[in-house]
Structures are given as C-alpha cells and as structure tokens.
C-alpha cells in the first residue's frame, strides 16, 4: 500500500483507501471498498460517512491501517477486526467463538417487531441467540418487552452475556439469558404457552456446502452447519417454538436460501401453526419464514 507523503510524514487517507481497496479486491474480499472504508473509520473512530473530515493520516495510523488491511486480505472477518456488528438498534461485540450477525437478519428483526407492535409488554423468546443480537435488537426497540434468549455454546454464551451487560450499562432493560440446548425440556418449561413472539436464526447450512474463508475459518461450525439437509436444528426448533407460543403468537425463523420450500412445509405440517408465509431478502432469495400459533385449540389442532 502506498500513500502520498509530505514533509510532515502525513499521508493522504484517500490514497491509502484506494490502495487498500485494490489489495482487498485482489484477495477476493467481496466488498473491498466498503471494507477498506470501514477499517479506516474504525481506526480513526469516526463513522464511515465522516472519513472526509480526515484527509491526512500520520505514519503511525498509516502503519496500523496497513496491518488491518493485511489481516482482512488474509480473509479475517471485518467484524473481528472492528469487534462490532450491528442489527437494528443493537450493536454487539463479536470475535472468535461466536457467529457474526449477518445483514439478512435485519429483516427477521423488522418482521418480529412489526408483529408485536400492538402488544403491550410482549414476551419474546430468541432461540439460538449466539451473540444475543436479535434478542438485544428487540429489547432495544421495545424496552417494555420481557426478552428471553437461549444459547448452547459456552463460548457464544459468554459473548451474549457481555453484550447483555453492555446493553444494561447503556440504560437498556435486562434480558434473561439461558445457557443450554433448546431441546432440553426443562430449560424453557416456565415459558410454555406464554410467548407473543419466538425468533430464531439457527444453524441451517447443509453439511459440506462450500463457504467463504471468513465462515470456514472463523464462524464456529456448530453455528453454521446443521446436517445433510441443514434442517437438523430447525426440525426440533419448530416443536419447541410451537410449545412456547401463546395462541396467536408469532414465529420467525431464518433459513438457507435453498430451504424456501422445505422450511415452510415443515411449519405448514404442524396443526398448531397457521398463516405460514415465506419471505425473501433484498436479493430476492428465500430467507425467512413466519407463522402464527392458531388462536383456538380444536380437537384437530391440539398438537
Ligand atoms: C447462526 S448462529 C445465530 C446467532 C444469532 N441468532 C445471530 O443471528 O447472529 C446459531 C447459534 O445457534 C447455536 N445453537 C446451535 N444449536 C443449538 C441448540 N440445539 N440449542 C441452543 N443453541 C444452539 C449456535 O451455537 C449458534 O450460536
């Protein structure tokens, strides 16, 4: 990476970003310019939109920037370098041992918040919470909600606890984090039939699917892969979610783009669920499914 130097040793940030963009593109990074700008913004502790306020950087900053760009070129995830990921109103800390929240999940959070817009003090359960980002995005938008979240991996749970603590220290309402497997019947028994909303972004990638180096080398495998068809976690999760929901309660599950038929079919097969709807992401790919627990239990739909 090169930069225009003056007598003061200060260099052009614009030139440094251009060089970084080229380096990241050559390394196969999918959004090289965005990442080059994000890394500069992180280093200068300013929003990306304010980089223009820093036309020149000193030698120390230029060296630090080069080091970050080298790590990103080696396909270390951008969010591990900045330490942060944002979904909706939640910015969470992330790093080794926890899944990095993806922009697609924003859509799940929006649908979930719409569904509880008219519900006072809603009860919310986020299954497979990872960093806690969905639970915290809902808690931030709806301070009146009682938010519960479950995570099995001790490493990910530690990140979720840290994020939940930061949420409280910045004035947010506490969430209830539970460590364990969502299929452990004792873990959520007290919430059976009470949830106005259940959300989940579980592991759903079919085993053996080729993934980018950022995923293969840095996301925990148990957060990504879920059996030959990617449904090993979603199948039992649907039963767990159906048991948690109150009549009329809303369910949103993110899934793989290849599961736009299989996951809705699994939901539609449950008599206790109706209004099954599939949703696409900004690129038009099937991304998440929603449903409601039927309002009236009849002999035909009691389970
Ligand atoms: C794709 S990550 C999603 C994390 C977070 N919801 C998000 O959107 O960023 C899935 C998470 O589910 C957790 N997980 C997988 N199977 C689980 C199970 N049976 N019970 C509880 N958590 C599980 C993984 O450890 C991982 O943290």
Three-class SS state of 175: coil
Whether the per-residue pLDDT at 7 is higher than 80: the answer is: no
- Overall average pLDDT of the 249-255 stretch: 98
Angle ∠(43,211,241) on CA atoms, nearest 5: 95
- Ligand 1 atom closest to the CA of 201, numbered from 1: 6
Give the lowest-confidence range in 24-28, 288-292, 295-299: 295-299
Residue of minimum CA distance from atom 18 in ligand 1: 181
pTM (global) more than 0.75? yes
Pocket of ligand 1 (CB under 6 A): 99, 101, 105, 128-131, 133-134, 150-153, 156, 181-183, 201-203, 222-223, 233
- Overall average pLDDT of the 262-266 stretch: 98
Radius of gyration of the chain (CA): 22
Q: What separation in Å is there between the alpha carbon of 201 and the centre of ligand 1? A: 7
Residue of minimum CA distance from atom 24 in ligand 1: 223
Residue of minimum CA distance from atom 12 in ligand 1: 128
CA 142, CA 179: separation in Å to the nearest integer?
A: 23
Model confidence at 5, pLDDT cuts 50, 70, 90, reads: very low
Q: What separation in Å is there between the alpha carbon of 301 and the centre of ligand 1? A: 29
Q: What separation in Å is there between the alpha carbon of 135 and the centre of ligand 1? A: 12
pLDDT single digits (tens) 167-214: 999 999 999 999 999 999 999 999 999 999 999 999 999 999 999 999
Whether the per-residue pLDDT at 303 is higher than 70: the answer is: no
Whether the per-residue pLDDT at 2 is higher than 80: the answer is: no
Three-class SS state of 256: coil
- Ligand 1 atom closest to the CA of 153, numbered from 1: 25
Question: In a 10 Å sphere around its CB, with 0-12 CB exposed, 13-18 middle and 19+ buried, how is residue 169 labelled?
Answer: exposed
Q: Check: CB of residue 21 under 8 Å from CB of residue 36.
A: yes
Mutate to test the pocket of ligand 1, among 90, 109, 130, 224 (most ligand atoms within 8 A of CB): 130
- Ligand 1 atom closest to the CA of 100, numbered from 1: 9
Whether the per-residue pLDDT at 297 is higher than 90: the answer is: no
- Overall average pLDDT of the 277-295 stretch: 96
Strands lying side by side in the sheet with 176-179: 176-179, 146-151, 123-127, 195-200, 245-254, 286-293, 273-280
Q: Check: CB of residue 51 under 8 Å from CB of residue 5.
A: no
pLDDT at 300: 53
- Ligand 1 atom closest to the CA of 105, numbered from 1: 8
- Ligand 1 atom closest to the CA of 200, numbered from 1: 6
Place of tokens 């009860």: 123
CA 298, CA 194: separation in Å to the nearest integer?
A: 19
- Ligand 1 atom closest to the CA of 108, numbered from 1: 8
3-state secondary structure 37-102: HHHHHHHHCCCHHHHHHCCEECHHHHHHHHHHHHHHHCCCCHHHHHCEEEECCEEEECCCCCCCCC
Whether the per-residue pLDDT at 3 is higher than 70: the answer is: no
pLDDT single digits (tens) 101-151: 999 999 999 999 999 999 999 999 999 999 999 999 999 999 999 999 999
Residue of minimum CA distance from atom 13 in ligand 1: 128
Whether the per-residue pLDDT at 8 is higher than 80: the answer is: no
Three-class SS state of 281: coil
Six-digit token string for 90:
């939640």
CA dist 16 to 38, 146, 208, Å?
13, 47, 38
């Amino acid at each position: 990476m090169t930069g225009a130097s003056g007598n003061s040793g200060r260099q052009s940030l614009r030139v440094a970003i251009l060089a970084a963009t080229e380096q990241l593109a050559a390394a196969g990074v999918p959004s090289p310019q965005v990442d080059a700008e994000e890394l500069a913004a992180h280093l200068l502790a300013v929003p990306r939109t304010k980089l223009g306020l820093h036309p020149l950087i000193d030698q120390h900053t230029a060296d630090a920037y080069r080091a970050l760009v080298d790590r990103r070129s080696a396909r270390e995830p951008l969010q591990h370098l900045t330490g942060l990921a944002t979904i909706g109103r939640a910015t969470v800390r992330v790093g080794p041992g926890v899944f990095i929240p993806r922009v697609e999940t924003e859509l799940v959070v929006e649908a979930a918040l719409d569904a509880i817009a008219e519900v006072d003090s809603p009860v919310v359960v986020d299954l497979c919470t990872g960093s806690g980002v969905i639970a915290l995005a809902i808690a931030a938008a709806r301070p009146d909600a009682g938010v519960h979240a479950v995570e099995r991996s001790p490493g990910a749970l530690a990140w979720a606890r840290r994020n939940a603590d930061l949420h409280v220290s910045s004035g947010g309402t506490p969430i209830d984090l539970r460590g364990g497997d969502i299929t452990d019947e004792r873990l959520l028994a007290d919430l059976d039939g009470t949830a106005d909303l259940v959300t989940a972004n579980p592991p759903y990638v079919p085993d053996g699917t080729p993934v980018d180096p950022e995923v293969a080398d840095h996301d925990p495998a148990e957060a990504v892969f879920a059996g030959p068809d990617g449904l090993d976690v979603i199948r039992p999760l649907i039963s767990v979610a159906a048991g948690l929901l109150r009549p009329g309660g809303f369910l949103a599950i993110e899934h793989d783009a290849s599961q736009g038929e299989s996951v809705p079919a699994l939901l539609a097969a449950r008599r206790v669920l109706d209004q099954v709807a599939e949703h696409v992401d900004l690129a038009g790919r099937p991304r998440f499914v929603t449903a409601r627990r039927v309002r009236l239990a009849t002999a035909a739909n009691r389970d």
